[in-house]
């Protein structure tokens, strides 16, 4: 059964120093979720060029990939997606009752693994554009 | 620390659907990233290759389900984030309606794009 908690307004970032690991996990999950859903709409818009034929589709994707800033945005997208996936697994585990006593540590592990995967992926994403 | 921070009504169908789509998306989003950024580099993708992949029934079905699951998960997540920020009453119903229309529109357009990318039909 759901319970409600008096936790103040989390959006009041003026008190960010008081935020616990759980609060940061909540904020990062929301932020990465907003980014991903925004990207989903953008992604379908770009892929819609396929409806106008191969020439436009190939030139649009090729043109975007030729921009270094797009390559770095893709690295950012990867970081956002990896964190959302890892923290999502953590949330599912918590929902199932696993790891309730180590929620802080699993959040930190999510951050570290996200950072490691992101850094390791930079050469693949940026390759050819530099 | 609070037990959970969520505006979802526990036991509700949308709560369950949000988690079921999450389980599906964890695998498919990772697969999508690996296939289209590491196996096939995004800079080398052309419509011919896309069509070859989308003309496999299993791949087409997976990508279409990916579209539907991601749209539901994203739009439902945005709605609940807004409710969590205090949205309620008539405004919540209006915003929910707008998000539902946007989500259905995205699925419709995504389906059209998927059909344009395949030789299956």
Give mean pLDDT, residues B46-58: 97
pLDDT at B1: 45
From A73, A122, A62, A84, select the one nearest B38 (Cα to Cα). A122
Q: Do A78 and B46 touch (CB under 8 A)?
A: no
Q: Do A54 and B47 touch (CB under 8 A)?
A: yes
| B6 domain residue, yes or no | no
Please state, in angstroms and as integers, the Cα–Cα distance from residue B74 to each residue in A71, A92, A106, A126, B71, following that order.
Answer: 24, 16, 24, 28, 5
**Which range among A5-9, B11-15, B59-63, B88-92 shows the weakest confidence by mean pLDDT?**
A5-9
Rounded Cα distance, B50 and B33, in Å: 14
Contact A79, A118 (CB under 8 A): yes
* Structure-token pair, residue B60: 């087409």
pLDDT at B2: 47
| A93 domain residue, yes or no | yes
Residues of B in contact with A47 (CB under 8 A): 110, 113, 117
Which residue of A2, A40, A85 is in closest CB contact with B10? A2
| A95 domain residue, yes or no | yes
Between residues A27 and B65, which one has the greater pLDDT? Answer: B65
| A3 domain residue, yes or no | no
Q: How many domains does chain B have?
A: 1
pLDDT, tens only, A2-41: 555 555 555 566 777 777 888 899 999 999 999 999 999 9
| B47 domain residue, yes or no | yes
pLDDT at B74: 98
Rounded Cα distance, A83 and A80, in Å: 5
A vs B: CB pairs below 8 A: 104
| A102 domain residue, yes or no | yes
pTM of the model: 0.89
Residue-by-residue DSSP string for chain B: --S----S-TT-HHHHHHHHHHHHHHHHHHHHHIIIIIIS-GGG--HHHHHHHHTSHHHHHHHHHHHHHHHHHHHHHHHHHHHHTT--HHHHHHHHHHHHHHHHHHHHHHHHHHHHT-S--
Residues ≥6 apart with Cβ < 8 Å to A2: B6, B9, B10
| A5 domain residue, yes or no | no
**Which range among B14-18, B93-97, B101-105 shows the weakest confidence by mean pLDDT?**
B14-18
| A94 domain residue, yes or no | yes
Supply the CATH number for residue A70's domain.
Answer: 1.20.1300.10
Residues of B in contact with A98 (CB under 8 A): none
pLDDT at A130: 72
Residues of A in contact with B48 (CB under 8 A): 54
Rounded Cα distance, A72 and A21, in Å: 28
What is the span of the domain harbouring residue B80?
Answer: 13-116
| A1 domain residue, yes or no | no
pLDDT at A34: 96
| A9 domain residue, yes or no | no
Could you give the angle at which helices B47-54 and A54-65 cross, rounded to 10 degrees?
Answer: 110
pLDDT, tens only, B1-39: 444 556 566 667 899 999 999 999 999 999 999 999 999
pLDDT, tens only, A66-98: 999 999 999 999 999 999 999 999 999 999 999
Q: Is B115 a residue whose pLDDT tops 50?
A: yes
Which residue of A37, A62, A66 is in closest CB contact with B75? A37
Q: Do A7 and B2 touch (CB under 8 A)?
A: yes
pLDDT at B22: 97
């Amino acid at each position: 059964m759901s319970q409600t908690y008096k936790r103040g307004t989390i959006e009041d970032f003026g008190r960010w120093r008081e935020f616990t690991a759980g609060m940061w996990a909540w904020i990062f999950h929301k932020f990465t979720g907003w980014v991903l859903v925004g990207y989903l709409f953008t992604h379908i818009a770009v892929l819609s060029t396929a409806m106008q034929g191969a020439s436009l589709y190939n030139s649009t994707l090729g043109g975007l990939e030729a921009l270094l800033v797009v390559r770095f945005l893709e690295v950012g997208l990867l970081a956002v997606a990896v964190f959302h996936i890892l923290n999502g697994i953590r949330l599912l585990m918590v929902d199932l009752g696993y790891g309730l006593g180590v929620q802080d540590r699993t959040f930190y592990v999510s951050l570290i693994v996200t950072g490691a995967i992101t850094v390791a992926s930079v050469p693949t994403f940026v390759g050819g554009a530099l | 620390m609070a037990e959970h921070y969520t505006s979802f009504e526990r036991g509700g169908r949308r709560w369950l659907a949000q988690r079921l789509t999450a389980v599906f998306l964890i695998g498919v989003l990772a697969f999508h990233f690996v296939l289209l950024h590491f196996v096939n580099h995004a800079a080398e993708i052309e419509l011919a290759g896309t069509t070859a992949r989308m003309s496999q029934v299993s791949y087409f079905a997976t990508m279409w389900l990916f579209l539907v699951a991601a749209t539901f998960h994203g739009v439902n997540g945005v709605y609940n984030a807004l409710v969590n920020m205090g949205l309620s009453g008539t405004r919540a119903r209006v915003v929910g309606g707008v998000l539902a229309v946007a989500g259905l529109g995205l699925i419709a357009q995504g389906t059209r794009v998927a059909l344009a990318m395949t030789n299956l039909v």
